[in-house]
Amino acid sequence: MATLYRCTTPTDWLCPCGKVARALRREGIPFQEAVVPQRRSRRPEVEALTGQRRVPVLVIEGESICDSRRIVEHLEFRRAQAAAADPTGSARPTP
């Protein structure tokens, strides 16, 4: 299962963290959310994963990916790989 480290914004429409959450749901990838404090200085778990304190951060298959654009690109790449492996188009990427 993937883990999305995200900010405290209560909706998925106002921030980059929500953009990633929507993309994960769209791709059908199960994930859990770890809401981190608003202050960057209080995000040691994020810093331990990526060396920086910004969110969103997605941990999927043991890989930590930061920046919402990079995460969405990675999810699209996974979908393309799954489609190439299954020409019928019925495959979804596995989490």
Q: What is the pLDDT of residues 48-68, one digit of tens each?
A: 999 999 999 999 999 999 999
The tally of domains found in the chain comes to 1
CATH number for the domain including 29? 3.40.30.10
Which range of residues forms the domain containing residue 32? 2-85
Query: pLDDT at position 54, please?
Result: 95
Q: Is residue 53 part of a domain?
A: yes
On whether the CB atoms of residues 24 and 59 are closer than 8 A, the answer is no
pTM more than 0.75: yes
Rounded mean pLDDT, 6-24: 93
Rounded mean pLDDT, 24-36: 96
Rounded mean pLDDT, 15-41: 95
The phi and psi torsions of 12 (rounded to 5 degrees) equal: -95, 15
Query: pLDDT at position 91, please?
Result: 56
